[in-house]
Amino acid sequence: MTTNSTPVLQALLLADHIYTDQSGKRVICGTFSKIFAPEFPSVFNGPVWAFILLTDVVGKVVLQLRFVHLSDNQILMESTPIEIKSDDPLQALDIALQIPGFPLPEAGVYSFECYADTTMIGSVRLQVMKVHSQESADD
């Protein structure tokens, strides 16, 4: 059973890699908000990790990330739902989630939206640009 309280998203970052060191701290390597693709449509196969930091979690909450094209709000990918639990709303819960390949139909602005149950609690934008080859730069 889920609760009626909504978690507070303290952080949502995209990174090349996230790992936990010997002291238990998360190490976030290579944060970014822009990627490049040689052509469109394509699939971006990363690696991409999402770091999610939440507070105010009481009871059970189901988290999910959605990848959305902001030009038309089309959902292009959804992560597998993750169930988290806490009895202490003051506890900070951090999640490192590896994101599978996701479609890029065209250059533009996209968003990874974080949902707690059915409520969007925050998002991070991702600008997608076309890589320009050296040949076209010389023209």
Query: Which tops the pLDDT comparison, 20 or 3?
Result: 20
Does 126 fall in a domain? yes
Distance (Å, whole) CA 2 – CA 22: 33
**Tokens coding 93:** 């819960």
Find, among 91, 83, 90, 114, the residue nearest to 1 by Cα: 83
pLDDT in tens, 76-118: 999 999 999 999 999 999 999 999 999 999 999 999 999 999 9
Task: Give the residue numbers spanning the domain of 103.
Answer: 8-131
CATH of the domain at 83: 2.60.40.10
Does 106 fall in a domain? yes
Residue 22: how many CB atoms within 10 A of its CB? 5
128 pLDDT more than 80: yes
Q: What is the dihedral angle through the alpha carbons of 69, 73, 79, 83, rounded to the nearest 10 degrees?
A: 140
Does 139 fall in a domain? no
Does 62 fall in a domain? yes
In this prediction, what percent of the chain has a pLDDT beyond 70? Answer: 92
Does 101 fall in a domain? yes
- The gap from C-alpha 129 to its chain's centroid, in whole angstroms, comes to 18
pLDDT in tens, 8-20: 999 999 999 999 9
| Count of domains forming the chain | 1
pLDDT in tens, 8-60: 999 999 999 999 999 999 999 999 999 999 999 999 998 899 999 999 999 99
